[in-house]
A and B are shown apart, each in its own frame.
Chain A
Amino acid sequence: MDRDIKFVKDAKPVKPGKYTVIFAPVATGVFTHESFGHKSEADFMIGDETMMKEWPIGKKVGADNLCIVDSGEILGSGFVPFDDEGTKAHKTYLIKNGILSGRLHSTITAESLKEDTTGNARALNFEFEPIVRMTNTYIEPGDKTKEELISEVKEGILIEDINHGSGMSIFTIAPKISYMIRDGKIAEPVNISVVTGNVMETLHEIDGISKEFELLSFTMGGCGKMEQFPLPVGLGGPYIRVNNVNVQ
């Protein structure tokens, strides 16, 4: 709370521009969920030849050290040991070492694309039909420390906490607590309306991933997909450093 009070008192508007940005685990989680997780939901691909051509398993889609996972096996708000069609939870690598490795399925989408089920058919409640949804979605930890990530940035931004995020072809994150990084050190607090970037370009712009890792659960809110909101999900990851992020 002391951090938040000091932030509210001291934060000044950011100078808009493109920066190297370090996302804290909550921001990493929202970025992962919104920007790539939804793209991995296979119901968006059914009958769509363009999507099948653009998203073949085995395609290089991100930096070499990037691994993105969805798993309903982990306790927390994304714990789904069996999905709403009765399929057992899986640990599904969506991206492994930068390579597109899997996608999320219900039985219908798995059959349609001739892939295996993944335990991701979920309904908000009895009023709705199960559709493809995420469970716990996260980036796996890397080999640097948070301090190392920060120390290698001449001028950039650290996003410690966020209000919300969303993602289509462009991802957006509305930060709540952010600081400038100057000469490798955390500097003054800054107010930012939104940071944005092209999802597919940004996955290649991740150049550092921390050992520190946090998977978060939430009691309020959740994921929205069309009419079904809010569905409990878990998300998180390490601190990640991303270049060329648009900051407003």
Chain B
Amino acid sequence: MIKEKYTNRVKEISVNIVQTDIDSVRKKDILKTGLRVYDKGYIGVAGAMGKADEEDLERRAIDNLSLKIPYPCEPSENLKMHLDYREDIFSDEEFVREADEVLKVLRDEFSDFTFSNKMYLFEMETGLTNDLGLDLLHRDRLLTVEFVIKEKASANVFDAFAIYATRQYNREELLNIIREELTAYRNPVKLPEEGKLPVVFMDFDMVPVSKLIDELNGYKLGTGASLFKDFIGEKKFNENFTFYQSAEKEDLRFIEFFDAEGVVNEGFKYALIENGRIMSPYTDKKTAHKFNLPLTGSAVGEYDKVPSLSPRYFKVKSSDKTLKELLNGKMAVAVVIASGGDFTAEGVFGTPVQLAFLTDGERLIGRLPELKLSGELYSMFGEDFIGKSKDKAFLGQQALALYLNVNYL
């Protein structure tokens, strides 16, 4: 029998903001411990919050082996990695004072808008160890801002967002993102024309790549339900399009460099589509074992759950060009909020766009009316794929650019 221990401790302070003012402050310090035992192809799991009695956890995990939950794979072994990405940002008191200062600036500069929701200072420590020499530890600290923005004269529930996440906080960097967005917001503009136009999305926006994530699911592909089931190894997309699973430092936001089964990919990434060629679906150990697929380290699991297949973080490989260079003199539609869109089963894409700006690749020029976008999966990442910018030219984020059909809603 092999014993494995998972621990996760989260310390967080957040300020709740209402009408551009601090409404309340919340503090968390939560420890979760999970004990897994593996025996004769089965797994037993038990978990506890707070200070855990490990002997009791182990007894309960062993009892749970009787549930006969299959785990026909070997636990990870012989790997020790301790990564500490924490940087000094603020003490809790300094953080609350800083939030207050930021809100003061926003009240002065943007009296025609209100800001609400939260700012967080978040610290995590996650460990995974077992009897086979696995010893992984991830420590991280992030300051994140998630402002919901409303134009005071608007009857909408909200009109815009501002998102900022960093290990090295810079007030002016945060304010400049908001300044660029809201200055453009105040300037209504029209599309250069309706029809096929360059459209850019922020790096973390999964709307355009959601179908790829669905179809690259290892279980879906293994059972023959994926659009890509007959295309592994085949070139189906643009030569410059590479799509990979990433656990690189710059991409980690509240997740660890290892997955829930202790898998660490070489270079912290795994290419699923490389230079247009479909290489592999994403898998956890069970899925890789069942369908004889490569293991990509895509297991997710709560502290008291059996790890299972789930998407982690995916990204499109950056080009060596700036957004301005990628757009090559053309104006583009920069999408900030495109909520509710989807792909059909065969890959036809459609989404409304609640908030978009016109951009020249260097700055946002003005706010566009509500739009609708449409495209088709193989075209979007084939002949209509433009590239991903190397610079953070879209509100502090790298930008994914592709041609889509753009019309007024």
Question: Given the complex of chains A and B, what is the CA–CA distance between A171 and B370 in angstroms?
Answer: 12
B interface, size bucket: 35 or more
What residues of B have a CB within 8 angstroms of the CB of A127 in the complex? 28, 30
CB distance from B199 to the nearest CB of A (A): 15
Known: A167-B340, A194-B341. A226 touches B117 (CB 8 A): yes
Among B24, B114, B150, B409, the residue within 8 A (CB) of A196 is: B409
User: In chain B, what residue has the closest Cβ to A53?
Assistant: B155
User: In chain A, what residue has the closest Cβ to B16?
Assistant: A129
What residues of A have a CB within 8 angstroms of the CB of B265 in the complex? none
The reply to whether A166 and B339 contact each other, CB–CB distance below 8 Å, is yes
Interface 1/0s, chain B 137-158, versus A by CB < 8 A?
Answer: 0000000001010101111111
Question: Given the complex of chains A and B, what is the CA–CA distance between A205 and B28 in angstroms?
Answer: 47
The reply to whether A47 and B18 contact each other, CB–CB distance below 8 Å, is yes
Whether A2 sits at the interface, judged by CB under 8 Å, is no
Give B329-353 interface residues, CB cut-off 8 Å to A: 337, 339-346, 348-352
CB distance from A16 to the nearest CB of B (A): 7
User: In chain B, what residue has the closest Cβ to A49?
Assistant: B152
The reply to whether B340 and A174 contact each other, CB–CB distance below 8 Å, is yes
Question: Given the complex of chains A and B, what is the CA–CA distance between A173 and B351 in angstroms?
Answer: 10
| Interface residue SS majority, chain B | strand
The reply to whether A246 and B372 contact each other, CB–CB distance below 8 Å, is yes
Give A63-80 interface residues, CB cut-off 8 Å to B: none
Whether B19 sits at the interface, judged by CB under 8 Å, is yes
Give A56-112 interface residues, CB cut-off 8 Å to B: none
- Report the stretch among A38-46, A133-141, A234-242 that lies at the interface: A38-46
The reply to whether B345 and A194 contact each other, CB–CB distance below 8 Å, is no
Known: A129-B24, A170-B354, A226-B118. A193 touches B341 (CB 8 A): yes
| Interface residue SS majority, chain A | mixed
The reply to whether A226 and B155 contact each other, CB–CB distance below 8 Å, is no
Give A136-170 interface residues, CB cut-off 8 Å to B: 163-170
Among A8, A11, A55, A174, the residue within 8 A (CB) of B341 is: A174
Whether B374 sits at the interface, judged by CB under 8 Å, is yes
Question: Given the complex of chains A and B, what is the CA–CA distance between A127 and B156 in angstroms?
Answer: 29
CB distance from A49 to the nearest CB of B (A): 8
Whether B26 sits at the interface, judged by CB under 8 Å, is yes
Interface 1/0s, chain B 1-25, versus A by CB < 8 A?
Answer: 0000000000000001011000010
Among A54, A163, A192, the residue within 8 A (CB) of B155 is: A54
The reply to whether B343 and A196 contact each other, CB–CB distance below 8 Å, is no
What residues of A have a CB within 8 angstroms of the CB of B153 in the complex? 50
What residues of B have a CB within 8 angstroms of the CB of A192 in the complex? 344, 350
Question: Given the complex of chains A and B, what is the CA–CA distance between A54 and B156 in angstroms?
Answer: 10
CB distance from A53 to the nearest CB of B (A): 8
Question: Given the complex of chains A and B, what is the CA–CA distance between A50 and B155 in angstroms?
Answer: 6
Question: Given the complex of chains A and B, what is the CA–CA distance between A49 and B154 in angstroms?
Answer: 10
CB distance from B112 to the nearest CB of A (A): 11
What residues of B have a CB within 8 angstroms of the CB of A174 in the complex? 340-342
Interface 1/0s, chain B 21-53, versus A by CB < 8 A?
Answer: 000101010100000000000000000000000
What residues of A have a CB within 8 angstroms of the CB of B146 in the complex? 226-227
What residues of A have a CB within 8 angstroms of the CB of B158 in the complex? 44, 168
CB distance from B50 to the nearest CB of A (A): 11
Question: Given the complex of chains A and B, what is the CA–CA distance between A193 and B349 in angstroms?
Answer: 6
Question: Given the complex of chains A and B, what is the CA–CA distance between A164 and B351 in angstroms?
Answer: 13
The reply to whether A48 and B344 contact each other, CB–CB distance below 8 Å, is no
Among B114, B157, B352, the residue within 8 A (CB) of A172 is: B352
29 contacts between A and B (CB under 8 A): A16-B350, A38-B157, A39-B157, A47-B18, A47-B19, A47-B114, A48-B19, A48-B114, A48-B152, A49-B152, A50-B152, A167-B340, A168-B337, A168-B354, A170-B352, A170-B354, A170-B409, A172-B339, A172-B351, A173-B340, A191-B348, A192-B344, A192-B350, A193-B342, A193-B348, A226-B148, A227-B118, A227-B146, A248-B374
Q: Which residues of B contact A (CB under 8 A)?
A: 16, 18-19, 24, 26, 28, 30, 114, 117-118, 146, 148, 150, 152-158, 337, 339-346, 348-352, 354, 370, 372, 374, 409
Q: A169-B370, A246-B372 known; 7 other A-B pairs, CB under 8 Å? A: A39-B157, A50-B152, A170-B370, A172-B341, A191-B345, A194-B341, A196-B340
Of all A-B residue pairs in the complex, the 8 with the closest CB atoms, nearest first, are: A172-B340, A193-B350, A248-B350, A174-B342, A166-B340, A54-B155, A191-B344, A47-B19
Q: Which residues of A contact B (CB under 8 A)?
A: 8, 11, 13, 16, 38-39, 44, 46-51, 54-55, 127, 129, 163-174, 191-194, 196, 226-227, 246, 248
